[in-house]
A and B are shown apart, each in its own frame.
Chain A
Amino acid sequence: MSFLRIQNISHTYFTKKSAKTALSSISLDIEEGSFISFLGPSGCGKTTLLSIISGLLNPSSGQVLVEGRPIQEAEEPLIGYMLQQDYLFPWKTIEENILLGLRILNKSNEISRKKTFRLLKEIGLEGTENQYPKQLSGGMKQRVALVRTLAADPKLLLLDEPFSALDFQTKLRLEDLVSATLKSFGKTAILVTHDIGEAIAMSDTICLFSSNPGQIYKQISVPEQLRNLTPFEARAHPEYASLFQTVWKELENLEK
């Protein structure tokens, strides 16, 4: 059985004047340890689907099962969420920020704290513990946010365009870092993006979304050769260019 099963999810937003269907009958199975990208035009309900998977939003119909159980029934949070911006708390030090999840989950002990600090060191930010987020650059802050997310040891990572607010070089470097970190911990991840290249370079499977209402239009499997490369190397591979063309054409078709 799949690690994550999305079963027939539909969601409609209501306002006084209208009822807008953001998602319509979405079903998807995701295996443990895989990396999926949701790619599509803005307003196709990608972020809505992510909120539903995380359990923060209840869908109008359908359900999400993690390891065969509804997400809300999980005893401990299985989900880690990374947003477009770092959303580090500016009045807390880096140390307080990365230990926040553990503290809220009541899992803060000597071992988990040590693990978190080791993570901070692995990600190249040793020595920033007593600094405030303002003192760090955008890329460093997003890395701290990654540590904060991973510290709670989630089984599933939801990445909502986490690289979109960064400059190009930082973005490429962070893609490599996130990809390597997730692989080494064997985490399952879903990335929402509108960057075709990022989707190809990072994921195993790409789900193309069409909008109005949001639906999975097509699933594209990324070839084995690209999966085993780091995102930066993948971008230089000949397969990357041809896949880019394929995805580009599919997206063009979508807009017609």
Chain B
Amino acid sequence: MKSKSTHIEQLHKQYIESLIREKRIVRTYQLFIFAFFFSVWELSSRLEWVDPLIFSSPSKIIELLLTKIQDGSIFTHIGYTVFETILGFILGTLSGTLLAAILWWSPLVSKVLDPYLVILNAMPKVALGPILIVALGPGFTSIIAMGAIISVIITTIVVYTSFREVDPNYMKVLQTFGASRFVCFKEAILPACFPTIISTLKVNVGLSWVGVIVGEFLVSQQGLGYLIIYGFQVFNFSLVLMSLLIIAVFATIMYQLVEYLERKMIKSSNQ
């Protein structure tokens, strides 16, 4: 009996070790790709295999980044863009969910609006950029509006669909207690759809970055999108690539935060 249990323990140990080994292999390859990509980039730029004026090089980008950090200007730009994106995607998700709630509340409204939603969803929202700028003024407001508008319709459609897919028997339970439609929404429909809403957040983070960067292309005097368009105009591609890398880093951070939030929320509802 005892030898059997030690045998199982040993097997378990081996299993854990194999997991660790696999993880180590994955990490090594990931690091290798990272290092390989940047060193080939650096090398080919130095040896002028590619045009260093257009493709810049990691060392030049870091150099530029250090000067921008020293004079502090980069933080203002990052601050602007991140703030606009967060606001845009929160606004987009909230108003999308609100719209979905209205559609759920009134089946007639949802039937009437159905073709309009389809058209709005199919239309590329960034095309509305110039109109937004004229309507809301060239600044903050229209950029945030871009970040929001790009995700609002798709959020509405996804969340509304999930509202309708909630098992009607949950509502039946509440209705036998005499619950109103509002109580049904609050107690059953909305909490049942929290996982869906969170997962639209994940999509919306990415979308809002698109909206905000395009918005900054069009009007801004600040922000990472502005740096890209400015760098392009003065032909400073180190600046363009640096902004691009910063965007990649911050978009990833935001995505990870939402994913963390999702894990926490789903854990609390799945206990």
**B172 contacts A56, C-beta separation under 8 Å:** yes
Chain B binder among A23-31, A98-106, A177-185, A238-246: A98-106
Type the 1/0 row for A77-115, where 1 means its CB is closer than 8 Å to any CB of B.
Answer: 101110101010111000000001100110000000000
A81: which of B172, B187, B188, B269 is its contact (CB, 8 Å)? B172
A77: which of B178, B183, B192, B270 is its contact (CB, 8 Å)? B178
CB distance from B37 to the nearest CB of A (A): 44
Please classify the interface of chain B as helix (H, G, I), strand (E, B), loop, or mixed, using the class held by over half of its residues.
helix
Give CA–CA (A85, B170) in the complex, Å.
10
**A104 contacts B183, C-beta separation under 8 Å:** yes
**B167 contacts A56, C-beta separation under 8 Å:** no
The verdict on A104 contacting B169 (CB below 8 Å), with A89-B188, A90-B269, A135-B271 known, is: no
Give CA–CA (A100, B187) in the complex, Å.
9
A75: nearest chain-B partner, CB-CB: B178
Residues from chain B with Cβ under 8 Å of A142 in the complex: none
B175 interface residue per 8 A CB criterion: yes
**A81 contacts B173, C-beta separation under 8 Å:** yes
**B178 contacts A104, C-beta separation under 8 Å:** yes
CB distance from B137 to the nearest CB of A (A): 43
B79 interface residue per 8 A CB criterion: no
Please classify the interface of chain A as helix (H, G, I), strand (E, B), loop, or mixed, using the class held by over half of its residues.
loop
**A134 contacts B176, C-beta separation under 8 Å:** no
Give CA–CA (A213, B191) in the complex, Å.
39
Give CA–CA (A77, B178) in the complex, Å.
6
**B177 contacts A152, C-beta separation under 8 Å:** yes
CB distance from A71 to the nearest CB of B (A): 11
The verdict on A105 contacting B187 (CB below 8 Å), with A56-B172, A87-B167, A91-B269 known, is: no
Give CA–CA (A75, B167) in the complex, Å.
28
Give CA–CA (A105, B177) in the complex, Å.
7
A132: nearest chain-B partner, CB-CB: B271
A91: nearest chain-B partner, CB-CB: B269
A37 interface residue per 8 A CB criterion: no
Residues from chain B with Cβ under 8 Å of A188 in the complex: none
Residues from chain A with Cβ under 8 Å of B176 in the complex: 54, 56, 77, 79-81
**A134 contacts B270, C-beta separation under 8 Å:** yes
**B169 contacts A87, C-beta separation under 8 Å:** yes
Give CA–CA (A87, B174) in the complex, Å.
10
CB distance from A150 to the nearest CB of B (A): 12
Residues from chain B with Cβ under 8 Å of A105 in the complex: 177-178
B interface list, Cβ under 8 A from A? 167, 169-170, 172-179, 183, 187-188, 191-192, 194, 268-271
**Which 7 A-B residue pairs are closest in the complex by CB-CB distance?**
A81-B176, A91-B269, A104-B177, A101-B177, A77-B178, A132-B271, A104-B179
Question: A54-B176, A87-B167, A134-B270 known; 16 other A-B pairs, CB under 8 Å?
Answer: A56-B175, A79-B176, A81-B176, A83-B173, A89-B170, A89-B188, A90-B270, A91-B194, A91-B268, A100-B174, A100-B177, A100-B187, A104-B183, A105-B178, A132-B270, A132-B271
A-B contact pairs, 6 of them (CB 8 A): A77-B178, A80-B176, A83-B169, A89-B170, A91-B194, A105-B177
A interface list, Cβ under 8 A from B? 54, 56, 76-77, 79-81, 83, 85, 87, 89-91, 100-101, 104-105, 132, 134-135, 148, 152
